[in-house]
Structure 1
Amino acid sequence: MPHPIRFIPRLADIDPAAWNALAGSQPCVQHAFLSAFEHSGAVGPGSGWHPRHATLWSDGQLIAAMPLYEKWHSWGEYVFDWAWAQAYEQHGLAYYPKWLSAIPFTPVPGRRLLGVSEAARTELLEAVLARVRASEHSSFHVLFPTAADARLLEGAGLMLRDGVQFHWQNAGYADFEAFLASLNRDKRKKIRQERRRVREAGITFRWLRGDEIDTEALEFFYRCYALTYALRRSMPYLNEAFFAQVHRDMPAHTRLLVADRAGEPVACAWFLMDDEALYGRYWGALEDISCLHFETCYYQAIEYAIAQGLQRFEGGAQGEHKLSRGLLSTPTCSAHWIRDTRFADAIDDFLRRERQGMSLYLDELNERQPFRTATAK
Structure 2
Amino acid sequence: MDGQGSRGEVVCDGGTFKCRTILDLLLEKSINIAQKKKKRSTRAEANMKALFLSLLICTLLSLSLSKERCNSHDKKVLLQIKKHFGDPYLLASWKSDTDCCTDWYQVECDSTTNRIISLTVFAGNLSGQIPAAVGDLPYLQTLVFRKLTNVTGPIQPAIAKLVHLKFLRLDWLHLTGTVPDFLSQLKNLTFLDLSFNGLSGSIPSSLALLPNLGALHLDRNKLTGSIPESFGTFKGSIPDLYLSHNQLTGEIPASLGNMDFSVIDLSRNKLVGDASMLFGLNKTTQNVYLSRNIFQLNLSNVVFPSGMANLDINHNKIFGSIPPQMTQLPLQSLNVSYNRLCGQIPVGGKLQSFDYSTYFHNRCLCGAPLENCK
Q: Report if TM-score (shorter chain) is over 0.5.
A: no
Q: Which has the higher contact order (CA 8 A, sep 6+)?
A: 1
TM-score for both structures, normalised by structure 2: 0.23
| Structure with the larger helix share | 1
